Amino acid sequence: MQDPARTLRVFLWALVCVCVVVHMPRMQAYFYMAECFAAVDLSLMVKSGVQYSLWGGSVLNLGTEQHRRKYFDDIACFKLPGCFAMTELKHGGYTHTHT
């Protein structure tokens, strides 16, 4: 169950942040929003980083122009939530090779 007080804090911080962000360059606004999320709850900052930097950034930087046109606006307004997974060879809990 969502905590109503936390929801109100998030909403008020978001409102303040949006009012400030509209007058900032894009990258500065992105980091300012991350700081605003962190002021309320660090997990919000992490979740927004995954959504916009890792997931959205992958589509932006690794996708084709067709991918960007099709998905990027929905990613930006969170109509298309995403995740990010990464594996590295020879790392993690199961690192031995099979012969």
Q: What is the pLDDT of residues 24-76, one digit of tens each?
A: 676 777 777 778 778 777 887 888 888 888 888 889 889 999 999 999 888 87
Within this chain, do residues 80 and 94 fall inside the same structural domain, yes or no?
Answer: yes
Same domain as 61, residue 29: no
Q: Are residues 75 and 31 in the same domain?
A: no
Q: How many CB atoms lie within 10 A of CB 64?
A: 9
Residues 25 and 36 in one domain: yes
Residues 46 and 64 in one domain: yes
> Which tops the pLDDT comparison, 32 or 14?
32
Does 32 share its domain with 49?
no
- The verdict on 48 and 93 lying in the same domain is yes
Q: Do 47 and 21 sit in the same domain of this protein?
A: no
Q: Do residue 52 and residue 35 come from a single domain? A: no
**Residue 20 sits in which domain range?**
1-40
Long-range contacts of 75-78 (CB under 8 A, 24+ apart): 75/51, 76/52, 78/51
* pLDDT value, residue 64: 94
The encoded tokens of residue 57 equal 């950034």
Flag whether the pTM goes above 0.75. Answer: no
Rg of the chain (C-alpha set) = 17
pLDDT at residue 66, as a whole number: 95
Return all residues near 56 (Cβ < 8 A) that are at least 6 apart: 72, 75, 76, 82
